[in-house]
Amino acid sequence: SPKPIYRSSFTHFSVCVCVCVCVCVCVCLGSNYAMSNGGGGAGASISTHLLDLLEEPIPGVGTYDDFHTIDWVREKCKDRERHRKINSKKKESAWEFTKSLYDAWSGWLVVTLTGLASGALAGVIDIVADWLNDLKEGVCLSAMWFNHEQCCWDSNETTFAERDKCPQWKTWAELILGQAEGPGSYIMNYFMFTFWALSFAFLAVSLVKVFAPYACGSGIPEIKTILSGFIIRGYLGKWTLMIKTITLVLAVASGLSLGKEGPLVHVACCCGNIFSYLFPKYSKNEAKKREVLSAASAAGVSVAFGAPIGGVLFSLEEVSYYFPLKTLWRSFFAALVAAFVLRSINPFGNSRLVLFYVEYHTPWYLFELFPFILLGVFGGLWGAFFIRANIAWCRRRKSTRFGKYPVLEVITVAAITAIVAFPNPYTRQNTSELIKELFTDCGPLESSQLCQYRSQMNGSQAYPAGSDAAAAPGVYSAMWQLSLALVFKIIMTIFTFGLKVPSGLFIPSMAIGAIAGRIVGIAVEQLAYYHHDWFLFREWCEVGADCITPGLYAMVGAAACLGGVTRMTVSLVVIVFELTGGLEYIVPLMAAVMTSKWVGDAFGREGIYEAHIRLNGYPFLDAKEEFTHTTLAREVMRPRRNDPPLAVLTQDDMTLAELQNIISQTSCNGFPVIVSKESQRLVGFALRRDITIAIENARRKQEGIMLNSWVYFTQHAPTLPADSPRPLKLRSILDMSPFTVTDHTPMEIVVDIFRKLGLRQCLVTHNGRLLGIITKKDILRHMAQMANQDPESIMFN
Amino acid sequence: SPKPIYRSSFTHFSVCVCVCVCVCVCVCLGSNYAMSNGGGGAGASISTHLLDLLEEPIPGVGTYDDFHTIDWVREKCKDRERHRKINSKKKESAWEFTKSLYDAWSGWLVVTLTGLASGALAGVIDIVADWLNDLKEGVCLSAMWFNHEQCCWDSNETTFAERDKCPQWKTWAELILGQAEGPGSYIMNYFMFTFWALSFAFLAVSLVKVFAPYACGSGIPEIKTILSGFIIRGYLGKWTLMIKTITLVLAVASGLSLGKEGPLVHVACCCGNIFSYLFPKYSKNEAKKREVLSAASAAGVSVAFGAPIGGVLFSLEEVSYYFPLKTLWRSFFAALVAAFVLRSINPFGNSRLVLFYVEYHTPWYLFELFPFILLGVFGGLWGAFFIRANIAWCRRRKSTRFGKYPVLEVITVAAITAIVAFPNPYTRQNTSELIKELFTDCGPLESSQLCQYRSQMNGSQAYPAGSDAAAAPGVYSAMWQLSLALVFKIIMTIFTFGLKVPSGLFIPSMAIGAIAGRIVGIAVEQLAYYHHDWFLFREWCEVGADCITPGLYAMVGAAACLGGVTRMTVSLVVIVFELTGGLEYIVPLMAAVMTSKWVGDAFGREGIYEAHIRLNGYPFLDAKEEFTHTTLAREVMRPRRNDPPLAVLTQDDMTLAELQNIISQTSCNGFPVIVSKESQRLVGFALRRDITIAIENARRKQEGIMLNSWVYFTQHAPTLPADSPRPLKLRSILDMSPFTVTDHTPMEIVVDIFRKLGLRQCLVTHNGRLLGIITKKDILRHMAQMANQDPESIMFN
């Protein structure tokens, strides 16, 4: 009986509330701490020690502008430098030793906090979304804060078969009109359903629009970009977290064709980012912070699907860019912590992490691989179609006037969804519950329409457990309704993903796959029942025994469709494997996911997230995509053949005025420093931002800096005329180990170097002489050009 | 009843034999193909296209010497070039299209074949080792080829409790002396046990010594080195495979304190290497071949532990060096195929992949974390102690005369093991079976001594299922025997790992941990029984209910000890998780493994495999170890301050005699090519092996090449005096995109570049002028020096 579980759920509810309070306190602490450190998103002022240990660091040097790319190599050096400093100091005093211990443990602390917060938030979101969703249908009179299921658990008056009907639960028609049946009450329920859906949708989109525009969408494309080394200030901030959590609940409850799984990853990453402000090791280093974010995304998937191992693999395969083994271990820990917090909150009342956990009891047979592969083909086709259609629609929204009315758009889509969804029971119910119903096998206790089989004994409509049977009319009408639901979900999902509300894609994709899978499964089952003398079925299916599991087909279909859309592989199989727990169902899953990926890739190699990254013009250098062209570095570098020469600085014969002139006349992010114009031999590289900050700093602090002051990057000042003003030494901001490649280097190697080392730019030389520069943007534009796409779509540096 | 399973096992035995025959045929085919291609281990002569597309390739250029390091960047370029060639040709004819399809599918084919072969071999090894192991005790009269268990399954005369005693099975004493009991027969059994153990050990070490010296040890250190980009010819060849498979069975059966899990990874990698010869894509490219080997090692662990996901993570975390996502997916596939082949062979007759699959039914409680963490501490201490002791012993063996008599050593160790092991039932039995017994929880059907508890009802010695109870004398005597077995295993394992027979470390480590864990578990259980009013136990343990699961302690202990020795983290937890299948036991495992890693790391950061790699002086640049020193590239590069200048070539003013002179006077593996001695500006890099091959090739094919011929690396020949002989153009072997760093580059960045890009060497410049060179060996020596180790221990290039 489910009651004890339900009670333990609410015993644990207090735990949940406590955790949430703690989380909120920590979040506030964290962000206040960040504020007091002047923090927004980027690292602060430790370093440049790396560059020159003798000079005093200039505040601000080594930080990044918004919408710019970080330099992984430099960030890692900064971190090692910091680590060395702490290590050398730790024997000085007990305080320093404590600080070094805090530093050493901060990695574990931050992932633990992130896991706790993600688990708690996921639990709260699950519970509140469930309640709001049921609010569309009615209200629990005995206790307003109970959802439909909880309301009826307390009732002793109903039988098990009618467990969702109880006197405490009143539909709106019963409450307002006082009658439960009849066309009037149907219309009243219809109206209230639509009304609540529209209210939730309106509230969600308004909150997003007013408070945190970054809270919309699934967030995974942006997180991928951020993890690849890009700065988007505020994308993972506390406002985004708060608004995304609230609007996610509203969006899910509004009945739009979207899921909460993708946004949960965003929520978890926000937690990770906010907690990292408690630890200077992470708050002041963009590369280290991304390790926390990788762990956070694993925790997000872990709570979204109840799959800790799958979450880690998702983070590794799909989201993360740079994933050292230390991070793997910590991500695993974060994922586990999050999963256990969620489990102790027990939002579904079944001691499981997800609503759609299933156990199958019959094996699968080899001939079933054929329908499984067919489902894979369907998944691949759906994925390819969805990506094209959704991107075309989003591009249209971006380029036309239409995108200027996001609230109107959301309300329109929500209204259409609610109006069309209500009459069909499979679209009216929560999508997660639909998936659960489709995954679950028919048993003797199952009262669903999908399980109305004719008993073989007496022709009655009870389903006999443990054997195939002929479908009763209930199944046929369910098939019709499911087909209509399939078409509806396909159309609505295309228009929903990309709306200005939090919207995940996993659940709608899985629902589409599960519907298709269940339909195929029932078809095969009936085929096996009516044609059990075919040699295929004769071999494997004994008459009267259970042979085909339609629930398994639904699960395989869900995996195939999700694979087609996201092009995930291992992580997807492991996530779904963790839902069933049976190793033997991996083979069908793998066959379907593999097929769906191949079919999808035949129409275009990008998954939906990469497509959205490209749509937004983020500078994302995909580690999965192979660069296969034969171009050389000299063909990609700037300056091109007819361009003006490269803006360079010389190491010791420029005045401040000349330097400022060069800076103001060009828009490059950095300048190579050479020995002299004649020799063109490379000395180092100086970033525009660092030069500007250093000049301002010198103007403020050093006296005698004038426009005709000499600027030098060498160790010692050049010999100057007697009357010249005090020179300005800029060696401390000079990167004396810039990456260089020769002009003959094939671009495939250059791309590899950029990917693996996380470079921002690379200088090109020929026989030791500086020729040009290649930036990440140049590479992305070149790749876009090679793929016959518009190179101008790459917008950021 | 186990009978049907047993029968299905032997129904499937035919399947197994078929698979094996196929495997052998393929292996022969594969190796013949390899021979006819002149293959040994290294890639062949496709490339250099990369270097200069206009020149004809010189055969042999681009291959590697034995015991040398490969250049990952160049190998990957070669592969892309090959891919482009096939792609451009594929529209020419149907044949070319078929070839391109074959090429595209070869990755999946090779991992499928590898999975099939690994699974089949693992099954055969399991079955034969079991049989040989039982041969030490006796023989099945009804059918010689049955082991003890199988022999008695056919018997109808015994009760379930006495299921291992049946008339068909005769101990040697029964056979020879005709009596089963008494001191005479005990001595006879003792003698035969020792005799067989010595025979197996002698056979194993002789076969290894005569036929395949590479077949000894676990193989994992060497495989790690090979995967990091090192060539050891024949290490993964067909002789090694054959001899390792045979001697592994013998070594396991001889009763030595070793396991088959590590060697199974080696066997799987041999399969992968041999099958890769069927596919030119893999046989001719060292980098691509290593992708197959990564997948093969995943398959090896998958069959060793029945953990496909754990296998993939093991390959990712522990073995592989370069692990792109494509490889992840294929490794997963290979691991699954291998697991399913092994399962259909069903070697243990329990439909499981491993002997020690367990299911626990009781949860764990929070206070149990304390003993779990204690077990973690024990595991860490054991790991640190084992690594030091074993390495010291191996070093002694290497450096003294003692190492020259491997056969004698093996026989001595085997004799001591057999003589000491026989009297104690826990050391006499197969180590895997011991682990299984320790992992398994006591139930009503368990007849083991470990499960003799006093029933609470009537004081009899039956164990009441589902509740804690007082231990009966059987448990106490078992505890004594287990303690002795623990000491014995600890001592013998130190001397066994490193013998010249195939020897894995997983099973002995797990056995030690399982013994310690079970002892702790029983102690806690009895504590809880006798002191159930302590507040800890009062809170959680109801009187009469089952509270403590000693089997879980054994499992946690096994994981902790394995973690202490290998320093694995995620993969270890996932492997053990896959043995139990319950997500909730991950937390104890994780706590123990984490503690054991931290405790172990406090005594030295190296795992046993890294320690053996260092002992053997292999050039392995560990991706996990952080380089934390502040040295700069100029301090590490050669030439050092007082060294003679760097041997360089000039691009167009050397004669052949001068070039040969430089080559013969130096031992470097390559030479930088510069514009001229005066400018020192870098043009490119030429490998010694390539130069030698190119000169020989030119002598053979081109006329008029004399000692005073000019050698040039430029595009066009330099203007020469009228009477000079025909010049030799060497541009095709010149690498025009050598990697360079500046002399100011911190070594941490240089080490990062070497690791991530897989470089062999890197040139050092200052302001565009060539200063020196850093090779992988230089880096490893520098790191050894920094860690106060002997830099001369790095032996290979």
Question: Domain A3-135+214-345 adopts which CATH fold?
Answer: Clc chloride channel (1.10.3080)
Residue spans of the domains in chain B: they are: 3-132+214-345, 369-441+480-614, 633-793
Say if the Cβ atoms of A570 and B328 lie within 8 Å. yes
The pLDDT assigned to B156 comes to: 62
Closest-approach residue (CA) in chain B for A308 = B583
Closest-approach residue (CA) in chain A for B83 = A628
Say if the Cβ atoms of A682 and B767 lie within 8 Å. yes
Give the contacts of B11 (CB within 8 A, at least 6 positions apart): none
DSSP B241-257: HHHHHHHHHHHHHTT-S
Say if the Cβ atoms of A748 and B80 lie within 8 Å. yes
Interface test with B, best of A53, A81, A319, A737 (most B CBs within 10 A): A737
> Strand locations in B115-228, DSSP E?
138-140, 169-171
The pLDDT assigned to B29 comes to: 54
Query: With the CA atoms of A563, A566, A569 and A570 taken in that order, what torsion angle do they form, in degrees rounded to the nearest 10?
Result: -110
For residue B639, whether the previous peptide bond is cis, meaning omega lies within 30 degrees of 0, is yes
- Greatest mean pLDDT among A84-88, B29-33, B219-223 lies in B219-223
Distance CA B47, CA B39 (A): 16
Say if the Cβ atoms of B587 and A770 lie within 8 Å. no
Say if the Cβ atoms of B83 and A682 lie within 8 Å. no
Give the contacts of A331 (CB within 8 A, at least 6 positions apart): A111, A294, A295, A298, A299, A311, A312, A315, A316
Q: What is the count of residue pairs from A and B with beta carbons less than 8 Å apart?
A: 145
Distance CA B124, CA B266 (A): 16
Say if the Cβ atoms of A767 and B308 lie within 8 Å. no
Q: Positive or negative, the Cα torsion across A216, A217, A220, A224?
A: negative
Min Cα separation A168/chain B (Å): 36
Give the contacts of B401 (CB within 8 A, at least 6 positions apart): none
The pLDDT assigned to A5 comes to: 39
Question: Structure pTM?
Answer: 0.89
Encode pLDDT of B521-531 as tens digits.
999 888 888 88
Interface test with A, best of B736, B743, B786 (most A CBs within 10 A): B736
Min Cα separation B165/chain A (Å): 35
Complex-level ipTM: 0.86
Q: Among B73, B83, B681, whose Cβ lies nearest the Cβ of A768? A: B681
Say if the Cβ atoms of A746 and B574 lie within 8 Å. no
Is B552 in contact with B364 (CB distance < 8 Å)?
Answer: yes
Q: Enumerate the residues of chain A whose CB falls inside 8 A of the CB of residue B628.
A: 80, 83-84
Same CATH topology for A3-135+214-345 and A366-612: the answer is yes
Closest-approach residue (CA) in chain A for B82 = A628
Q: Among B83, B332, B765, whose Cβ lies nearest the Cβ of A570? A: B332
Type of residue at A268: A
Q: Enumerate the residues of chain A whose CB falls inside 8 A of the CB of residue B324.
A: 623
More confident residue, A796 or B504: B504
Say if the Cβ atoms of A340 and B752 lie within 8 Å. no
Q: Enumerate the residues of chain B whose CB falls inside 8 A of the CB of residue A650.
A: none
The pLDDT assigned to A545 comes to: 65
Say if the Cβ atoms of A744 and B765 lie within 8 Å. no
Closest-approach residue (CA) in chain A for B307 = A583
The pLDDT confidence band at residue B163, using thresholds 50, 70 and 90, is low
Average pLDDT along chain A, 797 residues, taken 10 residues at a time: 40 52 56 44 38 57 85 88 89 90 91 95 92 89 81 65 72 84 88 93 94 90 93 92 94 92 94 93 92 95 90 90 85 91 82 76 83 96 96 90 88 94 90 89 71 59 53 83 95 92 93 95 87 76 73 94 93 87 80 93 91 90 82 89 87 88 88 89 90 88 82 84 82 89 91 89 91 91 87 76
Query: For residue A391, what are its two tokens?
Result: 């991107």
Query: With the CA atoms of A429, A431, A437 and A440 taken in that order, what torsion angle do they form, in degrees rounded to the nearest 10?
Result: -170
Min Cα separation B518/chain A (Å): 26
Closest-approach residue (CA) in chain B for A768 = B768
Min Cα separation B326/chain A (Å): 8
Say if the Cβ atoms of A628 and B765 lie within 8 Å. no
Q: Among A325, A577, A767, whose Cβ lies nearest the Cβ of B317? A: A325
Q: Among B569, B745, B757, whose Cβ lies nearest the Cβ of A329? A: B569
Q: Enumerate the residues of chain A whose CB falls inside 8 A of the CB of residue B590.
A: 332-333, 336
Q: What is the DSSP letter of A702?
A: S
pLDDT at B636 exceeding the cut of 60: yes
Type of residue at A113: L
Q: Among A80, A577, A746, whose Cβ lies nearest the Cβ of B748? A: A80
Q: How many CB atoms lie within 10 A of CB A1?
A: 7
The pLDDT assigned to A709 comes to: 86
Q: Enumerate the residues of chain B whose CB falls inside 8 A of the CB of residue A675.
A: 767-768
The pLDDT assigned to B750 comes to: 92
Q: Among A309, A340, A683, whose Cβ lies nearest the Cβ of B587? A: A340
Question: Domain A633-793 adopts which CATH fold?
Answer: CBS-domain (3.10.580)
* Percentage above 90 pLDDT, chain B: 40
Distance CA B434, CA B429 (A): 7
Q: Enumerate the residues of chain A whose CB falls inside 8 A of the CB of residue B587.
A: 336, 340
Say if the Cβ atoms of A744 and B736 lie within 8 Å. yes
Closest-approach residue (CA) in chain A for B309 = A574
Distance CA A255, CA B250 (A): 65
Q: Among B329, B741, B768, whose Cβ lies nearest the Cβ of A768? A: B768
Q: Enumerate the residues of chain B whose CB falls inside 8 A of the CB of residue A342.
A: none
Give the contacts of A663 (CB within 8 A, at least 6 positions apart): A671, A688, A691, A692
Min Cα separation A251/chain B (Å): 31
Q: How many CB atoms lie within 10 A of CB B723?
A: 5
Closest-approach residue (CA) in chain A for B676 = A767
Min Cα separation A745/chain B (Å): 5
Interface test with B, best of A341, A744, A747, A769 (most B CBs within 10 A): A744
Q: For B55, phi and psi rounded to 5 degrees?
A: -85, 155
Q: Environment class of residue B636 by beta-carbon count within 10 Å: exposed (0-12), middle (13-18) or buried (19+)? A: buried
Q: Among B83, B326, B768, whose Cβ lies nearest the Cβ of A682? A: B768
Question: Domain A366-612 adopts which CATH fold?
Answer: Clc chloride channel (1.10.3080)
Q: Among A586, A737, A753, whose Cβ lies nearest the Cβ of B745? A: A737
Q: B442-476 in b/e burial notation, b at 16+ Cβ within 10 A?
A: beeeeeebbbbbbeeeeeeeebbeebbbebbebbe
More confident residue, A57 or B614: B614
Min Cα separation B392/chain A (Å): 29
CA distances from A482 to A59, A259, A438, A472, A550 (A): 62, 19, 10, 16, 14
Please tell me the least confidently modeled range out of A268-282, B55-69, B238-252, B273-287: B55-69
Right CATH for B369-441+480-614 from 2.60.40.1930, 3.40.50.970, 3.40.640.10, 1.10.3080.10: 1.10.3080.10
Closest-approach residue (CA) in chain B for A673 = B767
